[in-house]
Structure 1
Amino acid sequence: MIPPFFTVRGGFVTEAFVDFPAYTAGYGLSNGHIQTIFPHLMRRVDVPFQRSQLELPDGDFLTLDTLAQADRSAPWLVVSHGMEGSSRAHYIQGLAKYFYQAGWSVQAWNFRSCGGSMNRLPRLYHSGTVDDLNSVIEHVVSQHQAEQIFLAGFSMGGNQTLLALADPNLAAQVVGGVGFSVPLDLTSCAEELAKPAQRIYMKRFLKDLKVKIEHKARQFPKLVSSTGFDEIQTFHQFDERYTAPLHGFDSAADYWQRCSSKPALSQLQRPTLVVNADNDPFLSRQSKDCRCLERCKHLQLEIPMSGGHVGFARWRINKPLWTEMRALSFAQSLLQRNH
């Protein structure tokens, strides 16, 4: 029987879904804001990543963190973090640890300017940075001879992951993927985060982004200016002034339209699970019902009633979270399907 806590839409229902219990919040943790903030503040997971640097064709680089099994035939997890996150984020560390203990090798990567090192070029990263994710996938194939790769992404990294999974040139080694808390429709999600109730999150994002813009202004004073940055209060203002011109978009609206993963769902090349909580304070209604799922044969969309944004918290916060167990269950089901 399908658990009653899910809204389910999509072209297939796997055994992993039917057998997997729904997320339920612990006592006192049912609020979406609490579920979002509590693990961010309180969770501590640490894994012994091996750090390296991946040089890119355009002269820039990515910082990689790797956990490789001694068995070179082990399947690989490639995991992408969220906006202004890094491979040190609790949700990346937790997922890496859980998959590694299950026999997987793990490749976490950091967006340009994230992970502790500022990148070389004027550009930073954005929701559609699929070229960098593809470079990481190619690296795992060529460097580690990976034969089976599962993609996972959170929030912005989830959007990138879905776009990569919809690419007709997706590497044959990729068996599928999962996205948690994915802003499928960037326009409406930016509007959602502009609301007063989400002001605490916007202030945090802008505080972190200000440091990077000031750094870029020193690196490239003819291209970037930090003057008046404190007047920015929304993603529309930030993306209009910085993201769009630095990454070749005409405007914030053009960026959001071209990089939203929602239109790409019908082109998914491999089985893909998307989990967006109904009480996620970052996501709009358009990211919880994409209105085209009847045409998305590779998509499985799950909308738990609760979970927050990249949260799905529990009181035993340093134990594996529901997201980690859900992702591994889905990934293992795809490996079994391919045998």
Structure 2
Amino acid sequence: MLFHGLEGSSRSHYSRAVLAACTRAGWKCAVPHFRGCSGEDNLASRAYHAGDFSEIDWMLQRFAAGHAGPLYAAGVSLGGNALLRWAQEQGESAAQRVRAVAAISAPLDLAAGGRAIATGLSYQLYTRMFLRTLKPKALRMIAHHPGLADAQRVRAARDLGAFDDAFTAPIHGFLDAADYWTRASSKPHLKRLRLPTLILNARNDPFQPGHVLPSAGDVSSSVLLEQPATGGHVGFAQGVLPGHLDWLPQRLLHFFTHGN
């Protein structure tokens, strides 16, 4: 299973690349959508967030119920952090559910990630793009569930911190954005991982600066840290420009097959 990133879907470039690689290798693969990301309006009173391990758990159970054989799970960006939080909460029992997990370009430290894309070019490229879809979705949910959150604050949000403070945090039981980012971050709990885990972060990822990435002393013996110098945020393109996206799917399949 592949869990997509913030405002991603099964149509995202990385989803299509992984699905194609799995098909060629004879693997079954599914990309479940977080609430509101399938193209249909989310009619529930909750959305999704970077620490949504209960939603991950439900999706894994649903998939496993209909498919025999070993199960592997990967998550990209927000989906990667949520998957790690699931494995951390499950502890020893995680290995009974899935053989291994992989997190690609996950914002392990959400506060650092929020600050990193709140200014400069990253703000122009990423934050504005996310808010362009997040805010209308939130406002439609508020219209469907009056009192769910403060619509005026949602409209006024100019970065993800303000949006999470106005919407993501209160509707999911967090005190504010700072509380959400602290409790949902997977980095403080990486020593709790008890199943084979690949954590892949490029050191030039604008979402997660290299200096905040974990080191070997921050993780359990089950974790393989891979931190190439380049790759950006879920990029890892190879070959002559504009490059191709074959490397990432092949890296995932190799890890799931061989464990390294």
Structure 2 unaligned regions, length at least 5: none
1:213-228 matched pairs, under 5 angstroms: 213-228=138-153
Question: Is this contact kept in 1: 2:235–2:245, CA < 8 A?
Answer: no
Check 1:319–1:313 CA distance in 2 against 1; reply closer, same or farther (3 A cut). Answer: closer
Question: What whole-Å deviation, never above 9, does each CA across 1:227-252 have from its counterpart, x for those lacking one?
Answer: 25443122221111111110001111
State the one-letter code of the partner of 1:261.
S
Aligned equivalent of 1:129, options 29, 34, 52: 52
Per the alignment, residue 70 of structure 2 pairs with 148
C-alpha distance in 1 between matches for 2:162 and 2:127: 12
Per the alignment, residue 191 of structure 1 pairs with 115
State the one-letter code of the partner of 1:265.
L
Q: 3-state DSSP class of the match of 2:101?
A: strand
Mean CA deviation greater in 148-157 or 317-326: 317-326
State the one-letter code of the partner of 2:100.
G
C-alpha distance in 2 between matches for 1:331 and 1:231: 44
State the one-letter code of the partner of 1:313.
A
C-alpha distance in 1 between matches for 2:215 and 2:158: 28
Tell me the matched-pair count: 256
Question: Is this contact kept in 2: 1:182–1:287, CA < 8 A?
Answer: no
Question: Is this contact kept in 2: 1:180–1:310, CA < 8 A?
Answer: yes
- Name the structure where helix makes up a greater proportion of residues: 2
Question: Is this contact kept in 1: 2:149–2:166, CA < 8 A?
Answer: no
2:104 aligned with 1:180: yes
Compute the displacement of 1:320 (Å): 4.5
Question: Is this contact kept in 2: 1:88–1:115, CA < 8 A?
Answer: no
Compute the displacement of 1:287 (Å): 4.1
Aligned residues with identical type, % of pairs? 35
Per the alignment, residue 24 of structure 2 pairs with 101
1:201-216 matched pairs, under 5 angstroms: 201-216=126-141
Q: TM-score, normalised by structure 1?
A: 0.71
Aligned equivalent of 2:221, options 297, 301, 305: 297
Question: Is this contact kept in 1: 2:187–2:214, CA < 8 A?
Answer: no
C-alpha distance in 2 between matches for 1:222 and 1:292: 45
Question: What whole-Å deviation, never above 9, does each CA across 1:59-81 have from its counterpart, x for those lacking one?
Answer: xxxxxxxxxxxxxxxxxxx1000
C-alpha distance in 2 between matches for 1:110 and 1:137: 12
RMSD of the alignment, in Å? 1.9
Per the alignment, residue 267 of structure 1 pairs with 192
2:202 aligned with 1:277: yes
Question: Is this contact kept in 2: 1:262–1:290, CA < 8 A?
Answer: no
Question: Is this contact kept in 2: 1:279–1:307, CA < 8 A?
Answer: yes
Compute the displacement of 1:197 (Å): 2.7
2:172 aligned with 1:247: yes
Question: Is this contact kept in 2: 1:158–1:181, CA < 8 A?
Answer: yes
Per the alignment, residue 164 of structure 1 pairs with 86
Check 1:300–1:141 CA distance in 2 against 1; reply closer, same or farther (3 A cut). Answer: same
Compute the displacement of 1:171 (Å): 5.8
Per the alignment, residue 160 of structure 2 pairs with 235
